[in-house]
Structure 1
Amino acid sequence: MTEFIRTPDENFVALEDFKFRPNYHQWQDMRVHYLDEGPRDAPVMLLLHGMPTWSYLYRDFIIPLSQAGYRCIAPDHLGFGRSDKPTDIHWYTIARHTEVLSSLLIDLDLKKINLVCQDWGGPIGLAQAAMMPDRFDRLIIMNTWLHHYGYEYCENVKQWIAAWKDGGFFVREKPDVALIPLLDAGLITRSDLYEASVNGTEPPMSDNTRQMYNGYFAPLKNLPDEAYNGYRRFPLSIPMDNFHNGNAVAQEMYYQILLRWSKKVDFIWSLEDEIFTESLGRDWCKRMNGFFTPVAGAGHFLQNTHAREIVNHILSNA
């Protein structure tokens, strides 16, 4: 039996910008949380998050997409959001995250899927389209990657991995990961992040900034340090030097399969991402014969700051 921590429901009650009903899928002895909004017989928008986010990342997508006639499914990976959180850091592998998502799609018998993926939602979600292409109608790819031969990891990726290894910046008890999306959105500074992480000094926050912080902190509020292990494991699973945890061989296979993808594919790519650059996105889009939409002024977590623009692109190109 896997030991895990379950975030109390009361952690989410005060989230005024996230009033969606929780749903749960049973995977072995754990609960996988997902949102299910919109008509049940409609085409599906499968909204996948990465690190250090959860389905809250898509809070401004769900209502307009469901009102446009889509069924929005937004799961939380195990270790994140309202999903259960295994305490053993070695439990977390990309292959296992992929297996869990597959079980959810099969259990719900989802078809006519429009995949919306970003960050780790890419390797985990694109694997589903490669393995079960008949369930998918469209790929909407945002600032992510699939490991493959010749992929060059930039210096910022190397620094991100190092920050989670022994002696790294985030190697501390209960690292305040909820500040990372705020930094990306330009709502706090790197100095604010440093002071908060090292000295426990809370950065100045406007009401809107505080609301976003509370959203990303809610899954971890009042939980022990072991609840953070899913967050710790994602950076250490990047298959730059850890091929097994990152499911590198399978990612290479999925990448090659999807180069032959014949259905619709859209790349919606932020231009200020220091990891997944514009040139990387354009090159991948060209290889897949996709349609490239740049999003100016957005960082890595473009869903936080440019939701309306992205939703409009999704709907106008449907």
Structure 2
Amino acid sequence: MEVLRTPEHRFKRLLDYPFAPNYADVGGLRMHYVDEGPRNAAPILMLHGEPSWSYLYRHMIPICAAAGHRVIAPDLIGFGKSDKPGNIGDYSYQRHMDWLQLLIDQLELTNITLVCQDWGSLLGLRLAAENDARFRAIVVGNGMLPTGDQKVPTAFHLWKNFALHSPWFPIGRIINSGCFRKLGPDELRAYDAPFPNRKYKAGTRAFPRLVPVTPDDPASDANRRAWKVMERWEKPFLTTFSNGDPITRGGDRYMQERIPGAEGLPHITLTGGHFLQEDSPVQFAQAILGVLGQAVTS
């Protein structure tokens, strides 16, 4: 396996990203993660998706840490400051699961609140289901746990074909197109920073092809087992979807109906596109803190 590591100078002086780097060895690869707030506090695990990295949570991390929580925001393998296998075939759904499992095992995380979006949800919801005793609450924004048994939106098929076949894959502009607000040049530079050239983008191009879209997908059975856990999940489960995401629209209602822990919670629709962390970061963070308060008192 050819493994690439983005040069450190690419991450110098990033706007609104003052966090000290932390690294864990996950199966011989180096995974980067942000770790802010009191180390003895119950952790909030913020998982990004495609094709972003922990920079996506830069406005939310300080809010949750200032409220007394430990906030851990990893860069998935292939993204951000983490190592990047150089071939699309090096990535699989299960490998991403294994890498995240190694991270939470090494950090000995328990009493976790999961915050997830996009592929952060595909990975995080399964992680929570497979380690349900270690999680206290879940907050999902614009994400789902697909099994291949549901109809896939046309917008996703278009995105998948673009990711696999387009010779041009501009990370910053892709993220900008999924926001209501216009990202500034420094923000675009930060999203592009992990990827000096096309060789570094194998992980970003791989994700769309790994989404289960047929019932016999290699990940479908494991995701169905995870759903069986979610259908018995009585701990807080909050949805914070946005009003402008064509890919995940309606997923919040679907999960509210199937997951017992969603009943009676103050589910919210935030203003924004697919990357609601860019459009409504304060409101998203406030929703997390609110469900944590409920989890403590319930």
Question: Which category describes the TM-score, using the shorter chain as reference length?
Answer: over 0.9
Give me the whole-angstrom Cα distance separating, in 1, the residues matched to 2:139 and 2:158: 28
* Aligned length in residues: 289
| Aligned position for 1:185 | 179
**Amino acid across the alignment from 2:232:** R
Give me the whole-angstrom Cα distance separating, in 1, the residues matched to 2:117 and 2:289: 18
| Aligned position for 2:77 | 78
In the alignment, is residue 287 of structure 1 matched against residue 258 of structure 2?
yes
> Is contact 1:267-1:293 (8 Å) kept?
yes
> Is contact 2:240-2:270 (8 Å) kept?
no
TM (norm. structure 1) is 0.87
> Is contact 2:143-2:251 (8 Å) kept?
no
| Aligned position for 1:164 | 163
- Give the CA deviation at 1:5: 0.6
Query: Matches of residues 1-318 of structure 1 in structure 2 within 5 Å?
Result: 2-148=1-147, 150-166=149-165, 171-172=166-167, 175-187=169-181, 209-220=184-195, 223-241=196-214, 244=217, 247-277=219-249, 279-289=250-260, 290=262, 291=265, 293-318=267-292
Q: Secondary structure at the match of 1:36?
A: strand
Q: Secondary structure at the match of 1:82?
A: coil
- Give the CA deviation at 1:296: 3.9
**Amino acid across the alignment from 2:277:** Q
Give me the whole-angstrom Cα distance separating, in 2, the residues matched to 1:287 and 1:266: 12
Give me the whole-angstrom Cα distance separating, in 2, the residues matched to 1:29 and 1:242: 32
**Amino acid across the alignment from 1:184:** G
Q: CA RMSD in A?
A: 1.7
> Is contact 1:65-1:72 (8 Å) kept?
yes
- 1:245-287 Cα shifts (integer Å, max 9, x gaps): 6x2221121122111112111111111111111x331121121
Q: Secondary structure at the match of 1:95?
A: helix
Q: Secondary structure at the match of 1:163?
A: helix
> Is contact 1:282-1:292 (8 Å) kept?
no
**Amino acid across the alignment from 1:153:** V
| Aligned position for 1:199 | none
Q: Provide the identity percentage.
A: 33
- Give the CA deviation at 1:226: 1.7
C-alpha change, 1:31 and 1:296, in structure 2 (3 Å) is closer
- 1:189-224 Cα shifts (integer Å, max 9, x gaps): xxxxxxxxxxxxxxxxxxx6112201211111xx34
- 1:158-207 Cα shifts (integer Å, max 9, x gaps): 211222344xxxx215x21211121122356xxxxxxxxxxxxxxxxxxx
Q: Secondary structure at the match of 2:6?
A: coil
**Amino acid across the alignment from 2:3:** F
- Give the CA deviation at 1:43: 0.9
> Is contact 2:236-2:291 (8 Å) kept?
no
- 1:4-55 Cα shifts (integer Å, max 9, x gaps): 1101111111203101000000123220000111101101100000001000
Give me the whole-angstrom Cα distance separating, in 2, the residues matched to 1:129 and 1:187: 32
- 1:49-72 Cα shifts (integer Å, max 9, x gaps): 000100001001111101101100
Task: Tell which deviates more after alignment, 66-75 or 233-242.
Answer: 233-242
Give me the whole-angstrom Cα distance separating, in 2, the residues matched to 1:33 and 1:165: 26
> Is contact 2:147-2:213 (8 Å) kept?
no
> Is contact 1:36-1:74 (8 Å) kept?
yes
> Is contact 2:15-2:187 (8 Å) kept?
no
> Is contact 1:268-1:292 (8 Å) kept?
no
> Is contact 1:185-1:301 (8 Å) kept?
yes
| Aligned position for 1:195 | none
**Amino acid across the alignment from 2:200:** A
> Is contact 1:182-1:212 (8 Å) kept?
no
TM (norm. structure 2) is 0.92
- Give the CA deviation at 1:317: 2.8
- Give the CA deviation at 1:95: 0.7
Task: Tell which deviates more after alignment, 223-232 or 43-52.
Answer: 223-232
Q: Secondary structure at the match of 2:81?
A: coil
Q: Secondary structure at the match of 2:145?
A: coil
